[in-house]
Amino acid sequence: MKFVYQRVLLVLVASVVLAGCASNKSLILVKNYAQQSQVVEEALLKEYEQTQEARIDAMLVQASREGISSNNLIVQRINNQGQVALLQNLLSFSQSIYMLSSENYDDELNSYSKQLNSSLSSISELSSSQASENSKVELVSTAINALARARTERARYQNLKEILIGSHDLIQSSFQSLSDELESWEVISKVSMEKELRTRLYLLNNPDRCELNNVARCAILSHSLEERIEAYRKAYTLKSKISALSVKFANLRSSLKAVQDLNSVLVTSLSQDDEFSKASLTSAFEITKAQLKKLKEFQNTL
C-alpha cells in the first residue's frame, strides 16, 4: 500500500513539473509575441510622427520662398488622434503582456495588470468593429483581475491565456483598421515631401527670381558655392526618401500583417495547447522575425 502511495505521489509530482514546464514554454512564446508586436507598433507611431513633420517641413520651405505672417505660420495637424490613441493603447497592451509573461513579474504584477485592463478598455472604446462586444471585454477584464492575484506560474499562464484568447477579435480588428489606413499615410507623406522638393529646387534653380519678377513679397536668398552644394545634397536626400516611400510602407504593411497572423497562430496554439500548434507558432515567429529584420535594415538605410 505504501509503495502504491509513493507511485501515485510520484506521478502527481511529475504531472505538476510537466505542467510547469509546459506553462513556462508557453509564457516564453507569449513574451516573444508581445516583444515583436511592440517593434511594429513603435515603427507605426514613428511613421505617424514623420508624416506630421513632412507637412510642417513643406510649409516652412514654402514660407522661405514668399515669406509668411505669424497668423499663417501654422500647419493643420492630420486628424489622427483616434488612430494614434488606438496604436498607443495597443503598444501599452503589448508592453503589459510582455512584462506579465516575464520572469521578474512579481514586483509589478498589480501595476501592469491595471495597465493591461486600462489599455484593453481604451482599445474597445476606440474600435469601430463589432468585435468589441461588452460581454467579451468584461470576461477578459475578469481574467486580468485574476491575473493580478496569481501567485503561481501555472495560474499566471492560464490567466494570460484567457486574456489573449478573449481579446483576439478586438486586437485583430484594431490591427486591420491600422493596416487599412496605411495607404492614406503614404499618400500624405508623398504629397508633402514632393511639395517640399519642388519648392527647394525652384529656389535653388532660380536665385534671381525676385529681381526678374519684381515681386514685392519675395524672399531673397544668397548662398556660397558650398552652401548651394549642401542645399542640393538635401534635395537629393529628399528625392531618395520619396523614391523609397513605396518600399517603406510595403515593409510596414508586411510587418503589421505578420504580427496580425502571429496573433492568430498564438491564440490557436494556446487554445489547442499541443505540439503541432506550437510548431506552427514557431514557424510564424520566424516569419515575423525575418520581416522585422527586413524593416529595421531598410529603416537604417534612410
Give pLDDT tens digits for 147-186.
Answer: 777 767 788 888 888 899 999 999 999 999 999 999 999 9
**Backbone phi and psi for residue 133, each to the nearest 5 degrees, phi listed first:** -70, 135
What per-residue confidence (pLDDT) applies to 168?
92
- What pTM was estimated for this model as a whole? 0.81
**Residue 74: CB partners within 8 Å, gap ≥ 6?**
none
CA dihedral 240, 241, 246, 249 (to 10 degrees): 150
pLDDT score at 126: 85
CA–CA distance, 270 with 154 (Å, rounded to integer): 13
Specify the pLDDT at position 139.
Answer: 72
* Cα–Cα distance for residue pair 157/151, rounded to 1 Å: 11
pLDDT less than 70: residues of the chain: 1-23, 104-108, 128-136, 151, 211-220, 273-281, 285, 294, 297-302
